[in-house]
């Protein structure tokens, strides 16, 4: 077979292949691809809708964080067994109840000791503000100042100020009671104090201190009281200033002894 015969044979083979192969329909392939894409997209939409409906049904079930537990080894989370996940909450509730019971016992003991109410020194005047009962010494220079603010943080809330006698210069004795929210569920972080027992409060921290204050001309010794009491979902802040010396210190002790938190 020479070169001419090979060329003729190759040409006939290409012609035969063209006759056996159907013509290429580019438009048809494009339409088919688009149709397949639309079918796959509809399938995904249906599956997404089904998944969304399932999520809505699950959301409608009253679930809590503590009602789910993670399966070991990376398993899928499922409903927790009865009692699971509630140990920490139960412990906190038990601690809170124990603190409340201890505070109630302390208040009852104080009331029994004083004949049915906390001890109030002769001449002192009782006050009640936002569920807090206490007493103030006589000699107020003006009526109590009440700020009726809502409890909005662990630093802001309603307050009552007893305006006491003049201490000299620009200084006056005073008692300030303010009610706020707890700081992260407890008392604000402060140091330099000690723990007190206050009827009705689960915990109370503060101090009676002696401070040198200036009236712009000279310095004088004053007795300063600060006390913070945790009672449920509120913190009661007490700040007071009295004259210095033994008389002021006694006033500070009498003030703290008169407090009852309801």
Report H helices in the chain.
3-20, 26-60, 87-113, 245-257
Per-residue pLDDT of the chain (262 residues; tens, 9 = 90+): 555 555 656 666 656 656 655 554 544 544 454 445 444 444 443 333 344 343 333 344 443 333 333 333 343 334 444 444 445 556 555 655 555 555 444 444 444 433 445 678 999 999 999 999 999 999 999 999 999 999 999 999 999 999 999 988 788 999 999 999 999 999 999 899 999 999 999 999 999 999 988 766 778 899 999 999 999 999 999 999 999 999 999 999 999 999 999 9
- pTM over cut 0.85: no
- By DSSP bridging, strand 234-243 and strand 260-261 are unpaired
Say if residues 258 and 229 touch (Cβ distance below 8 Å).
Answer: no
């Amino acid at each position: 077979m020479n070169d001419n015969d090979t060329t003729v044979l190759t040409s006939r083979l290409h012609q035969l292949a063209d006759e056996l192969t159907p013509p290429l329909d580019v438009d048809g392939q494009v339409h088919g691809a688009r149709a397949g894409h639309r079918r796959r997209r509809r399938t995904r939409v249906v599956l997404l809708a089904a998944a969304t409906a399932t999520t809505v049904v699950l959301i409608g079930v009253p679930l809590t964080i503590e009602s789910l537990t993670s399966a070991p080894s990376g398993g899928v989370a499922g409903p927790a067994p009865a009692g699971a996940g509630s140990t920490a909450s139960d412990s906190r509730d038990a601690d809170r109840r124990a603190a409340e019971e201890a505070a109630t016992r302390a208040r009852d003991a104080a009331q029994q000791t004083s004949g049915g109410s906390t001890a109030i020194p002769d001449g002192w005047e009782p006050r009640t503000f936002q569920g807090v009962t206490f007493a103030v010494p006589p000699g107020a220079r003006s009526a109590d100042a009440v700020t009726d603010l809502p409890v909005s943080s662990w630093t802001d809330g309603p307050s009552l100020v007893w305006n006491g006698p003049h201490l000299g210069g620009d200084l006056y004795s005073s008692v300030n009671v303010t009610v706020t929210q707890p700081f992260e569920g407890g008392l604000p972080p402060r140091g330099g104090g000690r723990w007190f027992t206050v009827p009705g409060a689960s915990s109370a921290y503060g101090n009676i201190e002696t401070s040198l204050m200036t009236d712009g001309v000279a310095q004088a010794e004053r007795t300063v009281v600060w006390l913070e009491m945790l009672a449920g979902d509120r913190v009661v802040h007490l700040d007071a200033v009295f004259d210095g010396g033994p008389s002021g210190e006694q006033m500070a002790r009498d003030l703290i002894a008169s407090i009852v938190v309801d």
